[in-house]
Amino acid sequence: YAGEQRDFIIYIWKDFHSGAWWLGINNNIVVGYWAASCFTHLQNGATGVMWGGEVIDEKTGDRHTTTQMGSGHFPQEGYTKASYFKNVQILDETNNLR
């Protein structure tokens, strides 16, 4: 919150040879992949990508964590107060960004 804002590029693409879905960042770091068997309903590709997160409290009775997802603040409060996405594109079956 109110700290340095950083940008990075996230890529998600399908290897049509193996069927695996790959995750990479910043043009040169391959993080890993999801095997084709994880997404059998995406055999022919996808038309979009969505992601998000959640905070899970696994401790019953007591509060396990007081953390929130992100800063807990909204973009209307100004730059550096919340995360953002920009220039979202999809890599199509011909490896072109659109």
Rounded alpha-carbon distances, angstroms, from residue 4 to 7, 79, 86: 10, 10, 17
Average pLDDT, 10 consecutive residues per value, the chain (98 residues): 82 86 90 92 77 72 65 83 78 76
- What pTM did the predictor assign? 0.63
Give the Cα separation of 65 and 72 in Å (integer).
14
State the first-to-last Cα distance of the chain, in angstroms, to the nearest integer: 32
Give the Cα separation of 72 and 22 in Å (integer).
30
Instruction: For the chain, give every domain's residue range.
Output: 1-43+71-98
Q: Both tokens of residue 74? A: 């909204």
Residue 15 dihedral angles phi and psi, to the nearest 5°: -85, 105
pLDDT of residue 16: 83
pLDDT of residue 66: 63
* Nearest-5° Cα angle at 37, 95 to 30: 45
pLDDT of residue 14: 85
